[in-house]
Amino acid sequence: MTSKEVRAKFLEFYRKKEHAIIASASLVPENDPTTLFTSSGMQPLVPYLLGEKHPMGVRLANSQKSFRAEDIDDVGDNRHTTFFEMLGNWSLGDYFKKEQLPWVFEFLTDEVGIDPNKLYVTVFAGDKDAGVERDEESVKIWKELFKKKGIDAKDVELITEERGGELGMQGGRIFYYGAKKNWWSRSGVPMNMPVGEPGGPDSEIFYEFIHIEHNPKFGKYCHPNCDCGRFMEIGNSVFMEFQKQDDPPTGQAGGSFKKLPQINVDFGGGLERIVAASNDNPDIFEIDLIFDIIQAIKIVSCKNYEGADKVSMRIVADHVRSSVMMIADGVVPSNSERGYILRRFLRRAVRHADKLGMKEGALATFASLVAEKYKGVYDNINTNLIAIASEIQKEETRFRETLASGMKMFEKISKKDISGADAFVLFSSHGFPFEITAELAKEKGVKVDKKGFEEEFRKHQELSRAGSEKKFKGGLGGLSEIETKYHTATHLLNAALKKVLGEHVYQKGSNITVERLRFDFPNPAKVTDEEKKKVEDLVNQKIKEALPVSVEEMPLDKAREEGATGIFGEKYPDVVTVYTIGEKNNYFSKEICGGPHVKNTSELDHFKIAKEEAVAAGVRRIKAVLE
């Protein structure tokens, strides 16, 4: 099956189960300073899993764009991608195990057509220290589901992470694992959870590729959580039903658990992996979403998809796809935060493109192949395709300007193991992300001091932060306060730019830190000093006018009718949150946004544009501060 078919079937399946289909959130999290990127389907829904009422109701489903930079070292095998889509369905205090497990089993076997004989499941083995019993209820449900398909599903008493390779399958189809594998919380296993943190057992679904032989280097025997490649996880149902307490039972540490007043279901299924399973092909890079890029790389490089070239092709395909997705959601290459992740990916892609003998500029041409696959799904890619390709091309050009000198330095320092300081000079002076230095060193048989590099990088960041903090006067009153102020200032800036430059201005991307706001918008020319002054004056005027900031939930159509603006190309749910600055019938700004915002513009400090620059063809960027 194609990814488009699987995605559509999933959403329609849960629509029929009375779920509201919600839009994918951006890869850049809104109002979540704890992470750089959206890395799972549940991440944007955490407030609602914790009890806040969702405007679309208690049954939700979607396909969420997700990105995990920590998987970069695994890219090159047949199953790891850094960008992926997570098919998800949620119950916010509504249904639970007896509905969830049959539904997901029905979807996989009846809708997608996966052979149930190749499916295996895992459940939570319990945790005596935490006082949480093992999940026998899920086992009973799974036994009945497999029985209806003519399969006698034996449950294996216990497989731990450490002993799985010693015990093997044992004729089982349902496997108990401990908290490291089958417990979900934002802070890991039960005993590590802070007081008040929610969590619960989960049940994972694995697909078996029976033609793959077990590799004994991963353990004597194979089992569902083995890393040999025979089994691949394709879905996980989390039953969030517990909350950590501060009253540990006698003789126990860490606190006990009580049932949450609202017990939830949080399912996540990897779209790419489900498609691969439906085709009985363990190579994620051969599904329709990615293989067109692989085919193009084969043609451009005149190489076959095999051996070491296969690894480089996968890295190029993955990194280009992830880069396109990041740029479409407003990220641009830089040496900090999200921009640094993007820069790492593009420069590593250049490195592997060179290994394949591809000519300069090839990476940017692959952006259209990515865009084609997401027409009608994530239209901001096609809308901004020219700017995306331009950004990729510019970053490749920047890297190549220092590539030759960087390679000369590498040859000098790689006659012995490379120090962290030298690796940092390669990064700071020659644009070599650590991964490139590490790969080159591995090829040459020398080591790189990663901890030393990270220490040098940390020192660099601290110096940069110290320099930025000098821009501000004292008394910020905490991170959340200044970030909240910047959220509201961004709305004022957007409205002021429309007034000064014209109605063609809209938000193409934004980023807020405790140090400044950043706002990207389309404009055919550089913003003149006179125009910048007008924008600054208008924003400061509205701050002095002490305009009220109000919030209201309303249907999307009504919000549009009332003149509310939003992020161009973003898909919004049927009910949205609208922030209005000014009186309702005489507002200065009205935007669809998740907040947070101040109550009155008088709470903001003096607004000043610190920098205005080009970031892509026809796209400008403003960085501004409150001082």
- Summarised one tens digit per residue, pLDDT across range 379-435 is 889 989 999 999 999 999 999 988 888 999 999 999 999 999 999 999 988 889 898
User: Can you give 11-28 as a three-state secondary structure string?
Assistant: HHHHHHCCCEECCCCCCC
Q: Is 201 left (phi over 0), alpha (psi -120 to 50) or beta?
A: beta
Do 195 and 333 share a domain, yes or no?
Answer: no
Q: Under a CB-based contact definition with an 8 Å cutoff, are residues 127 and 183 in contact?
A: yes
Do 455 and 486 share a domain, yes or no?
Answer: no
pLDDT for 480:
53
Do 324 and 255 share a domain, yes or no?
Answer: no
Residue 618 sits in a domain whose CATH number is: 3.30.980.10
Do 463 and 491 share a domain, yes or no?
Answer: no
Which of 284, 316, 341 lies at the terminal end of a domain, its last residue?
Answer: 284
Q: How far apart, in whole angstroms, are the C-alpha atoms of residue 613 and residue 619?
A: 9
pLDDT for 248:
62
Do 271 and 317 share a domain, yes or no?
Answer: no
> pLDDT grade, residue 160 (50/70/90)?
confident
**Alpha helix segments (H runs only) across 477-586:** 479-501, 529-544, 556-561
The token pair at 590 is 């009205």
| 98: amino acid identity, one letter | K
Domain boundaries, position 201:
3-284
Q: Under a CB-based contact definition with an 8 Å cutoff, are residues 314 and 285 in contact?
A: yes
- Checking if the pLDDT of 475 tops 70, the result is no
Give domain status of residue 421, yes or no: yes
Which of 438, 467, 496 lies at the terminal end of a domain, its last residue?
Answer: 467
DSSP 132: B
The H or E element that residue 103 is part of is: helix 97-106
- Candidate from 140-144, 176-180, 324-328, 567-571 with smallest mean pLDDT: 567-571
DSSP secondary structure string for all residues of 433-456: -HHHHHHHHHHHT--B-HHHHHHH
Q: How far apart, in whole angstroms, are the C-alpha atoms of residue 15 and residue 73?
A: 37
Count up the domains in the chain and report the number: 3
pLDDT per residue over 42-63, tens digit each? 888 888 888 889 989 999 999 9
Q: How far apart, in whole angstroms, are the C-alpha atoms of residue 599 and residue 594?
A: 14
Give domain status of residue 293, yes or no: no
CA distances from 615 to 4, 522, 523 (A): 32, 10, 11
Q: How far apart, in whole angstroms, are the C-alpha atoms of residue 384 and residue 448?
A: 39
Torsion of CA 404, 409, 411, 416, to 10 degrees: -160
- With 0-12 CB in 10 A as exposed, 13-18 as middle and 19+ as buried, what is 220? exposed
pLDDT for 468:
41
- Checking if the pLDDT of 187 tops 80, the result is no
Do 457 and 517 share a domain, yes or no?
Answer: no
Give domain status of residue 409, yes or no: yes
> pLDDT grade, residue 470 (50/70/90)?
very low
pLDDT for 118:
98
> pLDDT grade, residue 471 (50/70/90)?
very low
Peptide bond into 55 cis (omega under 30): no
Q: What is the pTM of this model?
A: 0.75
Give domain status of residue 84, yes or no: yes
User: Can you give 253-275 as a three-state secondary structure string?
Assistant: CCCCEEEEEEEEEEEEEEHHHHH
Q: How far apart, in whole angstroms, are the C-alpha atoms of residue 237 and residue 191?
A: 21
- Portion of the chain with pLDDT greater than 70, in percent: 94
- Portion of the chain with pLDDT greater than 90, in percent: 62
- Helices 3-16 and 271-278 pack at an angle, to 10 degrees, of 110
Burial profile 576-588: b = 16 or more Cβ within 10 angstroms, e = fewer: bbbbbbbeeeebb
Give domain status of residue 289, yes or no: no
pLDDT per residue over 217-266, tens digit each? 999 999 999 999 999 999 999 999 998 887 665 444 566 788 888 999 99
Q: How far apart, in whole angstroms, are the C-alpha atoms of residue 335 and residue 343?
A: 7
Residue 181 sits in a domain whose CATH number is: 3.30.930.10
Nearest to 598 by CA among 521, 508, 483: 483
Average pLDDT over residues 439-461: 90
Q: Under a CB-based contact definition with an 8 Å cutoff, are residues 91 and 222 in contact?
A: no
- With 0-12 CB in 10 A as exposed, 13-18 as middle and 19+ as buried, what is 467? exposed
What are the E-state strand segments in 181-230?
183-184, 198-208
- Candidate from 17-26, 299-308, 385-394, 576-585 with smallest mean pLDDT: 576-585
Q: How far apart, in whole angstroms, are the C-alpha atoms of residue 5 and residue 22?
A: 18
Q: Under a CB-based contact definition with an 8 Å cutoff, are residues 489 and 539 in contact?
A: yes
Q: How far apart, in whole angstroms, are the C-alpha atoms of residue 196 and residue 258?
A: 10
The chain-wide mean pLDDT, for the chain, equals 89
The token pair at 601 is 């513009």
**Alpha helix segments (H runs only) across 128-168:** 136-148, 164-167
> pLDDT grade, residue 31 (50/70/90)?
low
Give domain status of residue 594, yes or no: yes
Q: Under a CB-based contact definition with an 8 Å cutoff, are residues 179 and 124 in contact?
A: yes
Give domain status of residue 474, yes or no: no
Do 436 and 483 share a domain, yes or no?
Answer: no
- Checking if the pLDDT of 32 tops 90, the result is no
- Helices 479-501 and 529-544 pack at an angle, to 10 degrees, of 120
Average pLDDT over residues 462-481: 46
Do 451 and 502 share a domain, yes or no?
Answer: no
Structure-token match 């497999």, residue found = 146
Do 206 and 100 share a domain, yes or no?
Answer: yes
Does residue 291 sit in helix, strand or coil?
helix
Do 124 and 23 share a domain, yes or no?
Answer: yes
Give domain status of residue 292, yes or no: no
**Alpha helix segments (H runs only) across 288-379:** 288-301, 307-328, 337-355, 362-365, 367-373
Contacts of 66 (CB under 8 A, 6+ apart): 27, 37, 38, 39, 40, 41, 83, 84, 85, 86
Q: How far apart, in whole angstroms, are the C-alpha atoms of residue 456 and residue 443?
A: 24
Contacts of 315 (CB under 8 A, 6+ apart): 75, 76, 348, 349, 352
Q: How far apart, in whole angstroms, are the C-alpha atoms of residue 589 and residue 581?
A: 5
Do 114 and 13 share a domain, yes or no?
Answer: yes
Which of 467, 498, 516 lies at the terminal end of a domain, its last residue?
Answer: 467
- Candidate from 109-123, 481-495, 508-522 with smallest mean pLDDT: 508-522
Q: Under a CB-based contact definition with an 8 Å cutoff, are residues 387 and 619 in contact?
A: yes
> pLDDT grade, residue 305 (50/70/90)?
very high
The token pair at 327 is 């740029």
Q: How far apart, in whole angstroms, are the C-alpha atoms of residue 510 and residue 597?
A: 15
Do 270 and 376 share a domain, yes or no?
Answer: no
Nearest to 237 by CA among 168, 142, 304, 316: 142
CA distances from 36 to 31, 42, 67 (A): 11, 15, 10
Q: How far apart, in whole angstroms, are the C-alpha atoms of residue 193 and residue 255?
A: 9
Number of residues assigned to the chain: 627
Higher pLDDT, 469 or 563: 563
- Checking if the pLDDT of 33 tops 80, the result is no
> Strands 83-92 and 59-67, how do they pair?
antiparallel
Q: What are phi and psi of 109, to 5 degrees?
A: -85, -45
